[in-house]
Amino acid sequence: MTDDDRVFKALADPTRRFLLDRLFERDGRTLTELESELEMTRFGVMKHLRVLEEAGLVVVHRSGREKLHYLNPVPIRLIHDRWIDKYTERQVSALADLKAELEDQA
Amino acid sequence: MTTMARTEVTTQVYRVYIKASAQAIWDAITQPEWNVRYGYQAPCEYELRPGGAYRVLPSPEMVKYGAPEVIIDGEVVEADPPHRLVQTWRALWDPEMAAEGHTRVTWEIEEQDGGVCRLTVTHDVTDAPKSAAQLAGEIPNAGGGWSYILSDLKTLLETVNSLQS
């Protein structure tokens, strides 16, 4: 599996997207905190976090006894830069041209 | 809800895997001739010793928009080339961010298998909400923050590598 495959696979699950949204709201949470927001066993949440970690979307830092989970947005940015930009570039440049033209007239 | 009597620490963590040597990544972070080639393309100068100065000068584009002579300043706390760099960071182009004072950035470069390095940037933005929003790329029309910089850094180093090999 390539890095991109791991990211797409990790994002293809609603529970994992929910976990990322929780971390987006407030970063650096423990497993216990994340678990309290889901109707799921601790083991189930751990498994999802592991998939997110392997995709690089979650980075775990130790702080004393606690393991804190951080959202790492860089893999999503890489996908954006490599894939999404490629397909939206034309529209964006058309909009940029339009903006320049309208501003020239003003 | 329980209220805990502890200082709330706010940290952002960014990680990227780059197919390049630790030295190449270190140079790309610390040498102005490299760091103008990715991200916001503003030259970043480091005096690589504890207490040494760190400053970022505006790119020609930023000068056009009225950027100050130094757009970010700070101090080198720890420099252990090519693996670990700790520095402080304060944005000066915006009065609100400047008033938040210096925050702390830790760069870690770790060698992995297969000629790949893992770069982790940890930015402690405690009590600096506007800087935190800027660095997370959440301020409209103010760039993509750390994700954007690190994604571009990876692309640059891997492209240079593939051209050289």
Q: Residue B25: which CATH number?
A: 3.30.530.20
What chain B residue is nearest to A61 in terms of C-alpha separation?
B13
Residue B6 domain-assigned (yes or no): no
In a domain, B1, yes or no: no
pLDDT in tens, A12-52: 999 999 999 999 999 999 999 999 999 999 999 999 999 99
The count of C-alpha atoms lying within 13 angstroms of the C-alpha of B150, restricted to the half-sphere facing its C-beta, is: 29
Choose, out of A77, A79, A84, A92, the residue to mutate when testing the contact with B (most B CBs < 10 Å).
A77
B4 touches A: beta carbon within 8 Å: no
Mean pLDDT of B91-99: 96
Among A28, A70, A74, beta carbon nearest to B150: A74
ipTM of the complex: 0.81
State the residue range of the domain holding B67: 11-164
Q: What are the pLDDT digits (tens) for B4-58?
A: 444 567 999 999 999 999 999 999 999 999 999 999 999 999 999 999 999 999 9
Number of domains in chain B: 1
Enumerate the domain spans of chain A. Answer: 1-72, 73-106
CB within 8 Å: A78 and B154: yes
Q: Which of B12, B13, B151 sits opposite A77 (nearest CB)?
A: B151
- For the A1-72 domain, the top CATH level (class) is mainly alpha
Q: Does some domain include residue B2? A: no
What span, in angstroms and rounded, lies between the C-alpha atoms of B147 and A70?
A: 14
Residue closest to B12 by CA, chosen among A103, A72, A51:
A72
| Residues in a beta bridge with B18 | B117
Q: Which residues contact B164 (CB under 8 A, 6 or more apart)?
A: none
Report field, pTM of the whole predicted structure over 0.80: yes
More confident residue, A92 or B124: B124
Closest CB to B11 among A28, A56, A74? A28
Judging contacts by C-beta atoms under 8 Å, the chain B residues touching residue A73 are 14, 136-137, 147
Does some domain include residue B69? yes
Give the burial string for A35-74 (b: 16+ CB within 10 Å, else e). Answer: beeeeeeeeebeebbebbeebbbbbeeeeeeeebbbbbbb
Cβ separation B122–A72 shorter than 8 A:
no
